[in-house]
Amino acid sequence: MIYTIYDPNSGCIVGTGNVSNKQDIGHGIYWIEGRYDSNLYYIEGRKPVLYPPKPNANTWIAFTWDLATHTWGINTAVSASNVRKIRDAKLAAVDRVNPIWYSSLTPLQQQQLKDYRSDLLNIPNQSGFPVTIDWPVPPAWL
């Protein structure tokens, strides 16, 4: 028999398996019969419940299910990490600019590149960070 193992405090599924001695699962961890996908279900009252759809949001926003309120909440730590990964990829594209090519840019283009890079570095200082991000626009020639 396959069992789904879950944390009764959060309702989060922590694994599935063939548990021969349910007493060995551990203190504070519970099980129900059957296999339930942790991306689709949480457990409440020893029954699997389908998660409602996550709110439509920007791709970098991470959500966490709140069993007490039955709502999706924003996981700010993971969302901030996601934003920084996107920002760092954009910075890497700027930082790969060849010094010889950079020297061939006009003074205006050099300033635009510096401003764009500075704007990327300042993303974590934006008032809506990490939920609402005003992504800087790269210079058209970049």
Domain span at 21: 3-51
Model confidence over 79-105: pLDDT tens digits? Answer: 999 999 999 999 998 888 888 888 899
pLDDT in tens, 11-65: 899 988 876 655 555 556 788 999 999 999 999 999 999 999 999 889 999 999 8
Q: Are residues 67 and 32 in the same domain?
A: no
* 45 within a domain of the structure (yes/no): yes
Distance, CA of 80 to CA of 131 (rounded, Å): 8
Within a domain: 56? no
pTM above 0.85, yes or no: no
